[in-house]
Amino acid sequence: MQLAKVIGDVVITRKDENLTGIALLVVQPIGADGAASGRALVAVDSVGAGVGETVFVVRGKEAMFPWYPTEVPADAGIVGIVDRWDIG
């Protein structure tokens, strides 16, 4: 699981049938200090996140789990919205 910041929406005119009704968002992975860490990527959204929010992102097979038993063709998925975090 990785922290990321939602930095944009993806608008598509045609996509896989298994992605019907699923939002695609552009996310920028971030470190614990909130600084960008790595390249931005597109993730399927299972929680209704919006631009500017900090989210949890999973990669690989786990990205499709929120839609089980449907097999969503995704390599990255947003599984949670972060309200806050503390480093102590």
Q: Exposed, middle or buried, 29 (CB in 10 Å: 0-12/13-18/19+)?
A: middle
Provide the CB-side half-sphere exposure for 22 (13 A, CA).
25
Tell me what pLDDT residue 87 has. Answer: 80
Domains of the chain plus CATH, in order, are 2-81 (2.40.50.220)
Tell me what pLDDT residue 86 has. Answer: 84
pLDDT 10s digits, 18-74? 888 999 999 999 998 889 999 999 999 999 999 999 999 999 999 999 888 888 999
Q: Is the pTM of this model over 0.95?
A: no
Tell me what pLDDT residue 52 has. Answer: 97
